[in-house]
Amino acid sequence: MAADDKTPMGKIMIVTGSGRGIGAATALLAAQRGYAVCVNYLHNRNAAERVVRDIEKTGGQAIAVGADVASEAAVMRLFETVDKEMGRVSALVNNAGILEKQTRLDGIDAARLTRVLATNVIGAFMCSRDAVRRMSTQHGGQGGGIVNVSSRASQIGSPGEYIDYAASKGAVDSLTVGLAKEVAEEGIRVNAVRPGFIYTEMHASGGEPERVERVKAFAPMKRGGKAEEVARAILWLLSEEASYTTGAFIDVSGGR
């Protein structure tokens, strides 16, 4: 999209980690709701570009931008690219996250902890910071919304699987509450969704691609969730229907 074709009315969204899963579903739904979308990815450019093409096929506007959210410099370049090619961001979805092979704490080393926390925690902080610098009325912005993709693991703990991932999402929960209060008078609402057992490719990173089939019986609804179901909650939190909602959490977890 050319610089002179920037989206009017500032309805511009960045979705981190949106080449697949919940991020891709959110980007697609956001485009249907009138957002121009930045589809952020780490390695899989082809997947991100497929999301962009799917958005463009239905008349939407999107760009794919590669950036490692664990890198402060990369995050800054991501937002600067959106500034230049789309305009000032009005919605941020902190979706990028990683987990590693299932293990107990006694199988986790510091290098793994650093990787998980750098992406899941530092990434969410840095992206939120750069969004606030553009959205806040204190910085000349028009307000906006941030939705953090946390996890029910933040409260359940994921024992025997990935308590490091669960702890990182606990930090995301704290970020949500604290930042919501910090910027509430500056036109920015900050909320979070906590997905449960959702069918995404992420489970393969933990070493069990079919994990949802094993654990879905623990959810009162006795099924796994779809990425689109999480995306709908995210878009509601960013909508005017949620205009008096900040610092809140929606559990998309089938009752668990």
Residues designated as active site: 165
In angstroms, rounded to a whole number, what is the distance separating the alpha carbons of residues 201 and 199? 7
Concatenated DSSP letters for 120-183?
IIIHHHHHHHHHHHHH-GGGT---EEEEEE--THHHH--TTT-HHHHHHHHHHHHHHHHHHHHS
CA distances, 68 to each of 36, 218, 249 (Å): 21, 34, 26
| Widest pairwise Cα distance in the chain | 55
- Give the single-character DSSP code of 6: P
CA distances, 28 to each of 14, 94, 220, 226, 251 (Å): 12, 15, 29, 14, 21
Closest to 254 in 3D by CA, of 213, 222, 210: 222
Contact of 243 with 145, CB cutoff 8 Å: no
Residue linked to tokens 């990425």: 227
Contact of 27 with 51, CB cutoff 8 Å: yes
- The alpha carbon of residue 191 and the mean position of all alpha carbons in its chain are separated, in whole angstroms, by 11
